C-alpha cells in the first residue's frame, strides 16, 4: 500500500472487533469487506446499503468513495490491485442502516460521541458568550 497510508485497529468496547482502516486526507477509509467485518454482516449487505445511500442522494459517491492501489499476496507473489474504499461519512451512513448487534453498538457509540461533542461544544460556546458580555 502507498506509504502515505496509515493503518488503524478499531476495537469495540463491547466485543473485540478489529478492522484495518486507511487514514488519508483527514478521514478513515474502509473497503466494503472491512465494513462487513465491522458491522458483522455480509459484504453484499454493505453493497446494497451503499447503492441505496447513493441512489437516494444521501451522499455523493465521488466525494465519499475512492480507489486506492493495494499490494496483496496471491500465493507467493505480491500483486498490486485497485480496491474501492469508502470514507467515514459512508461508513457512518452504512452503520445506521445495517441491522446487527455490532451495528447497534456502533450507533450507540456514535450517538454518545455526538452528544458529548454537542454538550461540550455548547458549554464552551455558552461560556465564551458569557465572557464576551462582561
Q: What is the pLDDT of residues 72-117, one digit of tens each?
A: 888 999 999 999 999 999 999 999 999 999 889 888 877 887 787 7
Q: How many C-beta atoms lie closer than 10 Å to residue 103's C-beta?
A: 20
Whole-number pLDDT of residue 12: 67
CA distance linking residue 6 with residue 42, whole number of Å? 25
The C-alpha cell at 66 is 475512492
CA distance linking residue 4 with residue 87, whole number of Å? 16
Residue with more model confidence, 118 or 25: 25
97 three-class SS: coil
Cβ-contact 2, 69 below 8 angstroms: yes
Count how many Cα atoms sit within 13 Å of the Cα of residue 34 in the half-sphere of its side chain.
Answer: 21
- Looking at residue 96, the DSSP 8-state letter turns out to be T
CA distance linking residue 17 with residue 40, whole number of Å? 9
Q: What is the pLDDT of residues 67-81, one digit of tens each?
A: 998 888 889 999 999
CA distance linking residue 121 with residue 134, whole number of Å? 21
Q: Does residue 5 register a pLDDT over 70?
A: no
CA distance linking residue 49 with residue 126, whole number of Å? 39
Following DSSP, what letter does each residue of 34-47 receive, concatenated? Answer: HHHHHHTS-HHHHH
Amino acid at each position: 500500500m502507498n506509504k502515505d497510508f496509515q493503518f488503524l485497529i478499531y476495537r469495540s468496547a463491547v466485543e473485540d472487533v478489529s478492522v484495518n482502516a486507511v487514514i488519508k486526507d483527514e478521514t478513515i477509509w474502509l473497503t466494503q469487506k472491512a465494513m462487513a467485518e465491522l458491522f458483522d454482516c455480509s459484504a453484499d449487505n454493505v453493497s446494497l446499503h451503499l447503492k441505496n445511500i447513493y441512489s437516494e442522494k444521501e451522499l455523493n459517491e465521488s466525494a465519499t468513495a475512492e480507489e486506492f492501489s493495494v499490494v496483496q499476496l496471491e500465493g507467493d507473489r505480491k500483486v498490486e490491485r485497485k480496491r474501492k474504499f469508502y470514507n467515514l461519512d459512508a461508513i457512518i451512513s452504512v452503520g445506521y442502516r445495517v441491522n446487527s448487534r455490532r451495528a447497534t453498538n456502533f450507533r450507540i457509540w456514535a450517538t454518545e460521541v455526538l452528544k458529548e461533542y454537542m454538550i461540550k461544544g455548547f458549554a464552551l460556546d455558552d461560556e465564551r458568550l458569557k465572557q464576551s458580555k462582561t
